[in-house]
Amino acid sequence: MTTYEARAIGPDALKELRETDDAGRPCVPYTATEAGSPLRCCLRGNEAGERVALVSYAPLRRWAAETWARPGAYDEQGPVFIHAEECEGPAPGRKGYPFSRAGALRTVRRYDADGRIAGGRLLEIPADEERGYDEAFAEAFADPEVALVHVRAVEYGCWHFEVRRA
């Protein structure tokens, strides 16, 4: 089975978000008092005591700027947690998919090369978490029109990570 790569927010976007987020608001860092918020810069949960920020992020808008896609009304933004200062990014050799636990609900949303929604599905993460994601991504990319996939939390609708066609 093909293994797909979860992509975090890139370093250039993070640099900008740490100044002004995609809604035009200044970044407001704080010290986390609890652990577990999903950091989209390094694809892990935060630790208590780390400096983090909750910012508005427009993942499709940023992808469209790279590819000249025109998502139109599908361009949306939402809240994500990031480290307030530069971090190492995702751990090299990290196994599995981030923010994954059996029974959690995720939306696997597909986009075409123009940035329009090209379908999606609800994924209840099975006990074999990696296999469940791999099957959902294989299903998505079986459609030649699909250019990328966003994984989102169902409970909050927030963006977790991106997978692109290899």
- pLDDT for 1: 52
pLDDT of residue 80: 97
Same domain, 15 and 79: yes
What contacts 12, CB < 8 A, 6 or more positions away? none
Are residue 109 and residue 77 in the same domain, yes or no?
no
Residue count of the chain, please give it: 166
d(CA 8, CA 70): 22
Give 115-163 pLDDT, tens digit per residue.
999 999 999 999 999 999 999 999 999 999 999 999 999 998 899 999 9
Q: Against a cut of 0.75, is the pTM above it?
A: yes
Residues 71 and 116 placed together within one structural domain of the fold:
no
Instruction: Indicate the number of domains in the chain.
Output: 2
Query: Residue 66's CB: how many other CB atoms inside 10 A?
Result: 9
Q: Does residue 56 lie in a domain region? A: yes
pLDDT digits (tens, 9 = 90+) for 65-113: 999 999 999 999 999 999 999 999 999 888 889 999 999 999 999 999 9
Position 133 scores a pLDDT of 96
Same domain, 67 and 110: no
Of 26, 48, 83, the residue at which a domain comes to its end is 83
Please give the residue range of the domain that contains residue 42.
11-83
